[in-house]
Chains A and B, each alone.
Chain A
Amino acid sequence: MVAALLLTSCSGSQSALDTGGPAARRIAGLWWGLFAVATAVVLVVVFLVVWALVLRRGPDVRPRRGGERVVLIAGAVVPTLILIGTYVATLGVMGANREPPQPAELTVEVVGHDWWWEVRYPDFLTANEIHIPVGRAVHVQLRTADVVHSFWVPSLTSKRDLIPNQDNDLWLLADEAGEYRGQCAEFCGAQHAGMAFLVVAQPAAEFDAWLADQAAPARTPTDAVAARGQQVFESASCASCHTIRGTTADGVVGPNLTHFGSRQYLGAGAAPNDPGWLGGWIANSQTVKPGNLMPPQPLAPEDLTALIAYLETLE
């Protein structure tokens, strides 16, 4: 029943059992082995308890003495043998997952912030979305700008903490195209729950095109409303925290928005990136993601409309 429950419900894109790469697959294999042994141990105990209940000797029967040898063998010797096997399997998976099958060619730096992910490719910055080529290992360097966070994409590999003054890293390898959701796994304050990201695995050609698009500066808008939006962005407080390459906006407190329109979500997974949510987010993001560090922006309605139109053009 337990196994059935597990199997029927592991279809989410953040599941450690619905794997998309070799590292997570080995760990999932290890889990099923551990699960089998654990189930056997629990069944032995339940069997003995039930047996004692069934035996339930009558008041006239003298209880039996002894049992020392069984305690020693079943309680110490057999567990030791099982644990030795477990340890061997542990070292095996540790060794196998240590390095990717082929050396990684691309290095991406991920910097944790309260409460979003900065993603640095060699030629550009983006946020909350990490694109990788299918079938090729990517080296990920993990740093934090503030407190301890933890980078976790269960379907691809196990987690690793982002710790101040410490360089941690891991590698990602997806062998199927698709989206793998990740989330911060170390409690980091008010919006720990609102710190999700996406790993998007794309075929090589598609990935190269994405790299080229992202490396280009933002296009200057052609229609009047969006152009006005750019002015709003540059003149209002937006520019003091956010950068849009190709404009005068060069703030570094919040996420880089150069190709904001190409991202699927707002606010590290807080809401889908569509004009409605975006308007609400800009006006008062505290209603969408309470406690996040972006203050409400009291803009005139026509300025807000223009700003939304502009940001949505940044693909």
Chain B
Amino acid sequence: MTTLEERKAAEAAVGEQLEPIWEESGGLRGWFTTVDHKKIGRRYMVTAGLFFTVAGLEAVVMRTQLARAQLDVVSPDLYNQLFTLHGTTMIFFFATPMLFGFGNYLFPLMLGARDMAFPRLNAFGYWAFASAGLLMTSSLLFGAAPNGGWFAYVPLNEEQYLPGAGMDVYSLGLLLLGISTTVGGINFIVTALTMRAPGMSLNRVPVFVWALVVTSFMVVFALPPLNVANLMLFLDRRYGFHFFDPSAGGDPILWQHLFWLFGHPDVYIIVLPALGIVSAIVPTFSRRPIAAYPLIVLATIGTGVISFGVWVHHMFATGLPQLSLSFFSAASLIVTIPSGIQYFSWLMTIVLGRLVVRTPMLWILGFLVVFVAGGVTGVMFAVVPFDQQTTDSYFIVAHFHYVLFGGAVFPIVAGIYYWFGKFTGRMLSEKLGRWSFWLVFVGFNATFFPMHVVGLLGMPRRNYTYQSGLGWDGLNLVETIGAYVLTVGLALTLFNIARALRSGPAAPENPWGGDTLEWATASPPQDYNFPVVPTVHSLHPMWDEKTLATMVRDEDDPERTLTDGKQALRTSDLDGVPEHVVELPEETVVPLVTAGGLFVATLALVLGAPVVAASGGLLTVVGLVVWHWPRAARQEAQEAQEAQA
């Protein structure tokens, strides 16, 4: 039996040699130059958390405005900015970046690797995301926030109807973010396919990794229609193009197709990685492997594929032919089957396992209860006549908050409680976590359940106010009170985090008895993650004596310790057979400069300064040249050296 002490001893021996190789600059310099996936991952999570807080407070203002009929808390135009920014921020700048943050942090750790495949690209992705989010969120301070809805339907969002910079911030901000998300997705795909620990064949890859890889493929295919649409919208607004201008023969429905061809897969882009978190946490607290692993992986892939064929259910009321509607209705029903498989996989795992209810698992149980309610109402929107009746009413607001808050926020909070020790070396308070959970659970249901009812009672969404006497008053008041309770609950978790960072108890390596490889590292992990790269023997390496033993046995094997430089192991895509050693890049400021150029270009285009925009673009080009230059030269020099030898 390999003990923790033996692993610590091995770590000490090898770590001495790795430490100086992997150490990065500290302080301000390190802030701008790091390429460490853990620092970048943490940064993604903190930044996305900030955007979540801002967008959440925007929602609180909206709920205050809607507490009673005909209130005058905010003006109609400010309300429209708030709901546009709330949706855009939550979808684009919170959910996906937060889950990418989890992924950045956990991918190499779960895969037994030392970093992501492209560490500099990782840093670049963060800077592009952060600057796009800054542009979008701060626009509210200048009264120039997007105000045409997160879905930006045309012709409303043509300059004729919504002049001002708001929707330019939207289209260009999303284009900048689109670059970040795409490179992030590519990095996940390549990392998962080439950087896994020896022995980690595809059937031993954790479900969380599978989920984020499927998500990444979806990102790569779903973002192009959105990017194209946003580019066309910007050209329409600023340069007099007529792609979507009906008075000049443009087509408003084209926007809807392009947007939802991205938009529906995006629902799963948000939810799948969160479901991956669920699949990571459930086995740990059920003390058994996840039920039907091959089925849950196939279900994840199936969801990714089918989700590209259902976008028209967002357009059932636009007057498309009945035959098209019946096809997309069928596809939208079918896409729920893989979710059924995932659900019963978790349910069978907890029913047959030995359930231990610690805080992370409490949030997951809450997720199981609320997400199913969002799922069953989702099925209803495949039912054409019912969709046509309730789309754009509060019923749909209720539905997608059960899906997105239930399906993403609950698992994300669970993930924070689960991995906080790994991320920071400190444990969160269980007691505060439970209080937070119950307040959020009650507040969430009080906020969003009545919305089903007001929707059926005919209340349309995106209304800054409503008339009294239509049966909506009392329910709206309940929703607003629920939103306050929900806010207090979430604030309690924020307080818990702040408190733990100051004075939380130290986190052990594997506080919950988890099964995946991140639990084999220190809390927080060393710069090099694993002193001895493990050789994986099962889907549950931490529950498997053989895998643990390799981390001690191989301490003298140079092909597992890789102490000659900042190196990682390249393994084969299917079976995880070691192929060769790859050199990883050192810390550098180049990603920041490259992303900075893009940010300058974006901001200048919003402000209408093409010369400045061009110089920003030039800066990016220079950054890319430098990025690619020295490494090739170094390789050549190395090859020349080897030839000499």
A and B are partners in one complex rather than unrelated chains: yes
A91 vs B323: C-alpha distance when bound (angstroms): 10
Contacts of A74 in B (CB 8 A): 340, 344
A71 vs B289: C-alpha distance when bound (angstroms): 14
Q: Is the CB of B355 within 8 A of A57?
A: yes
A98 vs B341: C-alpha distance when bound (angstroms): 35
Contacts of B389 in A (CB 8 A): 16, 24, 27, 31, 154, 158-159
Known: A146-B155, A160-B388. A42 touches B372 (CB 8 A): yes
Proximity bits, B356-394, A CB within 8 Å = 1, else 0: 010000000100110011011101101111101111110
Proximity bits, A50-90, B CB within 8 Å = 1, else 0: 01110111110111111110111011101110010011011
Q: Is the CB of B292 within 8 A of A164?
A: no
| A299 in the interface (beta carbon within 8 A) | no
Chain B: interface secondary structure?
helix
Q: Is the CB of A38 within 8 A of B377?
A: yes
Contacts of B357 in A (CB 8 A): 53, 56
A165 vs B325: C-alpha distance when bound (angstroms): 21
| A107 in the interface (beta carbon within 8 A) | no
Q: Is the CB of B464 within 8 A of A189?
A: no
A152 vs B251: C-alpha distance when bound (angstroms): 23
A290 vs B369: C-alpha distance when bound (angstroms): 42
What's the minimum C-beta distance from A200 to chain B, rounded to whole angstroms?
17
Q: What residue of chain B has the Cβ atom nearest to residue A269's Cβ?
A: B467
Taking CB atoms and an 8 Å cut-off, the chain A residues in 12-52 that contact chain B are 12-17, 24, 26-27, 30-31, 34, 37-38, 41-42, 45-46, 48-49, 51-52
What's the minimum C-beta distance from A160 to chain B, rounded to whole angstroms?
6
| B466 in the interface (beta carbon within 8 A) | yes
Q: Is the CB of A193 within 8 A of B466?
A: yes
A58 vs B633: C-alpha distance when bound (angstroms): 62
Q: Is the CB of B246 within 8 A of A164?
A: yes
Q: What residue of chain B has the Cβ atom nearest to residue A152's Cβ?
A: B460
A72 vs B379: C-alpha distance when bound (angstroms): 19
| B566 in the interface (beta carbon within 8 A) | no
| A163 in the interface (beta carbon within 8 A) | yes
Contacts of B537 in A (CB 8 A): none
> What's the A-B contact tally at a CB cutoff of 8 Å?
280
Q: Is the CB of B341 within 8 A of A291?
A: no
Q: Is the CB of A15 within 8 A of B457?
A: yes
| A109 in the interface (beta carbon within 8 A) | no
Q: Is the CB of A188 within 8 A of B156?
A: yes
A186 vs B347: C-alpha distance when bound (angstroms): 39
A160 vs B286: C-alpha distance when bound (angstroms): 49
| A244 in the interface (beta carbon within 8 A) | no
Q: Is the CB of B456 within 8 A of A10?
A: yes
| A148 in the interface (beta carbon within 8 A) | yes
Q: What residue of chain B has the Cβ atom nearest to residue A166's Cβ?
A: B319
Proximity bits, B155-195, A CB within 8 Å = 1, else 0: 11000011000000000000000000000000000000000
A68 vs B457: C-alpha distance when bound (angstroms): 42
Q: What residue of chain B has the Cβ atom nearest to residue A84's Cβ?
A: B333
Q: Is the CB of B156 within 8 A of A187?
A: yes
Q: What residue of chain A has the Cβ atom nearest to residue B83's Cβ?
A: A187
A100 vs B580: C-alpha distance when bound (angstroms): 71
Q: What residue of chain B has the Cβ atom nearest to residue A6's Cβ?
A: B453
A90 vs B389: C-alpha distance when bound (angstroms): 13
Contacts of A10 in B (CB 8 A): 456-457, 471
| B295 in the interface (beta carbon within 8 A) | yes
| A11 in the interface (beta carbon within 8 A) | yes
Q: Is the CB of B392 within 8 A of A159?
A: yes
Contacts of A159 in B (CB 8 A): 317, 388-389, 391-392
Contact of B295 (CB < 8 Å), options: A71, A79, A184: A71
Q: Is the CB of A147 within 8 A of B155?
A: yes
Q: What residue of chain B has the Cβ atom nearest to residue A180's Cβ?
A: B458
| A185 in the interface (beta carbon within 8 A) | yes
A66 vs B77: C-alpha distance when bound (angstroms): 56
Q: Is the CB of A63 within 8 A of B352?
A: yes
| B526 in the interface (beta carbon within 8 A) | no
Q: Is the CB of B385 within 8 A of A94?
A: yes
Contacts of A168 in B (CB 8 A): 318-319
| B546 in the interface (beta carbon within 8 A) | no
Contacts of A161 in B (CB 8 A): 317-319
Q: How large is the interface on A (under 10, 10 to 19, 20 to 34, 35 or more residues)?
A: 35 or more
Contacts of B465 in A (CB 8 A): 193
Contacts of B291 in A (CB 8 A): 66-68, 70-71
Known: A16-B456, A86-B379, A187-B149. A150 touches B392 (CB 8 A): yes
| B429 in the interface (beta carbon within 8 A) | no
What's the minimum C-beta distance from A73 to chain B, rounded to whole angstroms?
8
| A183 in the interface (beta carbon within 8 A) | yes
Q: What residue of chain A has the Cβ atom nearest to residue B463's Cβ?
A: A193
Taking CB atoms and an 8 Å cut-off, the chain B residues in 325-350 that contact chain A are 325-326, 329-330, 333-334, 336-337, 340-345, 347-350
| B604 in the interface (beta carbon within 8 A) | no
| A181 in the interface (beta carbon within 8 A) | yes
Q: Is the CB of A87 within 8 A of B329?
A: yes
Known: A34-B379, A52-B355. A186 touches B385 (CB 8 A): no
Q: Is the CB of B341 within 8 A of A94?
A: no
What's the minimum C-beta distance from B61 to chain A, rounded to whole angstroms?
16
A70 vs B350: C-alpha distance when bound (angstroms): 13
What's the minimum C-beta distance from B275 to chain A, rounded to whole angstroms?
13
Taking CB atoms and an 8 Å cut-off, the chain B residues in 280-339 that contact chain A are 286-289, 291-292, 295-296, 317-319, 322, 325-326, 329-330, 333-334, 336-337
| A245 in the interface (beta carbon within 8 A) | no
Interface-central residue, B162, B330, B460, by most chain A CB under 10 Å: B460
Q: What residue of chain B has the Cβ atom nearest to residue A8's Cβ?
A: B471
Known: A76-B337, A196-B467. A90 touches B329 (CB 8 A): yes
Contacts of B155 in A (CB 8 A): 146-148, 164
| A93 in the interface (beta carbon within 8 A) | yes
Known: A15-B471, A64-B288, A65-B352. A191 touches B76 (CB 8 A): yes
Q: Is the CB of A181 within 8 A of B458?
A: yes
A90 vs B76: C-alpha distance when bound (angstroms): 38
Contacts of A166 in B (CB 8 A): 253, 319
| A263 in the interface (beta carbon within 8 A) | no
Contacts of B343 in A (CB 8 A): 45, 75
Contact of A86 (CB < 8 Å), options: B252, B383, B456: B383
Contact of A52 (CB < 8 Å), options: B351, B392, B458: B351
| B472 in the interface (beta carbon within 8 A) | yes
Taking CB atoms and an 8 Å cut-off, the chain A residues in 210-267 that contact chain B are none
Taking CB atoms and an 8 Å cut-off, the chain B residues in 140-159 that contact chain A are 148-149, 153-156
Inter-chain pairs besides A56-B355, A192-B463, 12 sampled, C-beta below 8 Å: A15-B471, A16-B457, A34-B383, A38-B373, A49-B368, A55-B351, A68-B292, A71-B296, A90-B326, A152-B458, A154-B458, A159-B391
Q: 3 tightest A-B contacts by CB?
A: A14-B458, A67-B348, A164-B246
Selected A-B contacts with CB under 8 Å, 22 pairs: A9-B474, A31-B380, A37-B376, A42-B372, A52-B350, A52-B353, A56-B357, A62-B354, A67-B291, A67-B292, A74-B344, A75-B343, A76-B340, A91-B326, A98-B322, A147-B155, A161-B318, A164-B155, A186-B153, A187-B156, A190-B77, A192-B462
Binding site for A on B (CB under 8 A): 75-77, 80, 148-149, 153-156, 161-162, 246-247, 251-253, 286-289, 291-292, 295-296, 317-319, 322, 325-326, 329-330, 333-334, 336-337, 340-345, 347-355, 357, 365, 368-369, 372-373, 375-377, 379-380, 382-386, 388-393, 453, 456-467, 469-472, 474-475
